[in-house]
């Protein structure tokens, strides 16, 4: 029989630990929701951080919006943009301009030029609608001419910038960007190649992101990297140096004589007339549609096959078409929109010297495309 001393040394018997209270159905649902949120947030956070830390020449805000578009929140991003542009829409009227912002580098009349653009608002301002050379180093060639004109009497402070490119003395190259087009293809330099800059005349923005282009296709150097769709506006460059803006009528694979083909929505100008469906908002892009007044750009061809680029702020797709028609385009397509993407730069000297923007309101640097760019673009060279 144990002694009292032994009993005192024995460990006291522990009572069992009470079980945690059983979760209510509501508590169980909340726990599952928290776990699911964490599991979803981890890859989402990794994706966002990876995008933000990847090489890019776009701002943090722009990359954030682009990330939202690419990850299921395109509607939210577009709604925010649409609300912003609605708030900042221009008012009609206002005091008329006294001068255009155009600074003519070479005050000479080129030997070859299209008819000057007839003024929309009279009396016209000095130099309004008059074609001026973008440089002087090509001497008599002067392949790129530029002009500006007020494009809408209801908005007398609105100025459109237009460039005419003589395809007898210039050639066009299409250069893929770091991120666009979003297909697997040879990216090359993603900037104007250094060994091509001696004869560089101009650079300008390409079209919408491929995912927003209406299912458009891509071809480069005889290879098709995204199937071409019939009926879409297509900027085509051929091996003999010709270019065209056309409603694609060929097959899904570009012919071997096509050096590049870039598609984007339907034509906005055909046979010198605006597309009859310009009022159909969804057809002109999933981001902002056709009627929001925003920076817009477009490219067309005149009756002789020369190229016409146009851009302006506060444009609808219909008013952009009107600008291109007034400048002489018989067929034209919309290129990219929004202030961050619309760019036309010309170079007053060889080797990309003395770069200048077509319009001072274009916010990107005049040296854009002289370093790797996120978006594809076009380069204009003297032959």
The span from the CA of 212 to the CA of 206, in Å, is: 13
Query: Rounded to two decimals, what is the model's pTM?
Result: 0.85
pLDDT at 39 over 80: no
Classify residue 96: in a domain, yes or no. no
- pLDDT tier for residue 74 given thresholds of 50, 70 and 90: low
The confidence band for 290, taking pLDDT boundaries of 50, 70 and 90, is: low
Question: Within this chain, do residues 303 and 368 fall inside the same structural domain, yes or no?
Answer: yes
pLDDT per residue as tens digits for the range 349-366? 999 999 999 999 999 999
Asked if the model's pLDDT at residue 45 lies above 80, the reply is no
Q: Say whether both 81 and 197 belong to one domain.
A: no
Q: Are 173 and 281 members of one domain?
A: yes
CA dihedral of 174, 175, 177, 181, whole degrees rounded to 10:
40
Task: Please check whether residue 65 lies inside any domain of the structure.
Answer: yes
Same domain membership, residue 141 and residue 46? no
Neighbours of 82 (CB within 10 A): 16
Residue 71 counted as domain residue: yes
Three-state DSSP at 300 gives strand
In total, how many domains does the chain have?
2
Residues 107-163: pLDDT tens digits? 677 777 899 999 999 999 999 999 999 998 887 679 999 999 999 999 999 999 999
Range of the domain at 141: 132-382
Please give the pLDDT value at position 77.
Answer: 64
Q: Which helix (H) or strand (E) holds 274?
A: strand 273-274
């Amino acid at each position: 029989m144990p002694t009292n001393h032994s009993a005192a040394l024995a460990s006291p018997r522990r009572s069992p630990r009470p079980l945690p209270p059983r979760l209510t159905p509501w508590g169980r649902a909340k726990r599952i929701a928290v776990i699911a949120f964490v599991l979803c947030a981890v890859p989402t956070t990794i994706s966002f951080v990876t995008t933000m830390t990847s090489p890019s020449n776009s701002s943090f805000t722009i990359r954030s919006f682009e990330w939202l578009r690419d990850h299921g929140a395109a509607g939210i991003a577009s709604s925010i943009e649409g609300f912003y542009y609605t708030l900042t829409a221009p008012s009609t009227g206002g005091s008329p301009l006294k001068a255009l912002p155009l600074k003519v580098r070479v005050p000479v009349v080129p030997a070859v030029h299209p008819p000057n653009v007839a003024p929309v608002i009279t009396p016209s301002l000095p130099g309004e609608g008059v074609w001026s050379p973008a440089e002087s180093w090509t001497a008599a060639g002067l392949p790129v001419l530029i002009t500006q004109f007020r494009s809408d009497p209801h908005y007398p402070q609105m100025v459109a910038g237009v460039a005419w490119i003589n395809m007898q003395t210039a050639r066009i190259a299409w250069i893929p960007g770091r991120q666009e087009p979003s297909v697997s293809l040879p990216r090359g330099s993603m900037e104007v190649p250094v060994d091509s800059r001696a004869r560089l005349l101009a650079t300008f923005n390409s079209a919408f992101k491929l995912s927003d282009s209406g299912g458009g296709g891509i071809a480069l150097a005889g290879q098709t990297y995204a199937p071409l769709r019939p009926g879409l506006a297509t900027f085509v460059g051929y091996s003999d140096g010709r270019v065209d803006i056309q409603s694609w009528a060929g097959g899904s694979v570009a012919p071997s004589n096509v050096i590049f083909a870039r598609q984007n929505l339907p034509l906005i100008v055909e046979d010198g007339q605006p597309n009859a469906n310009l009022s159909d908002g969804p057809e002109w892009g999933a981001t902002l549609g056709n009627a929001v007044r925003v920076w817009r750009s477009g490219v067309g061809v005149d009756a002789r096959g020369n190229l016409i680029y146009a851009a302006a702020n506060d444009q609808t797709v219909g008013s952009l078409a009107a600008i291109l028609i007034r400048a002489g385009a018989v067929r034209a397509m919309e290129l990219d929109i929004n202030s961050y993407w619309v760019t036309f730069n010309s170079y007053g000297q060889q080797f990309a010297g003395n770069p200048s923007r077509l319009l001072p309101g274009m916010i990107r640097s005049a040296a854009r495309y002289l370093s790797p760019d996120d978006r594809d673009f076009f380069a204009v060279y003297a032959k």
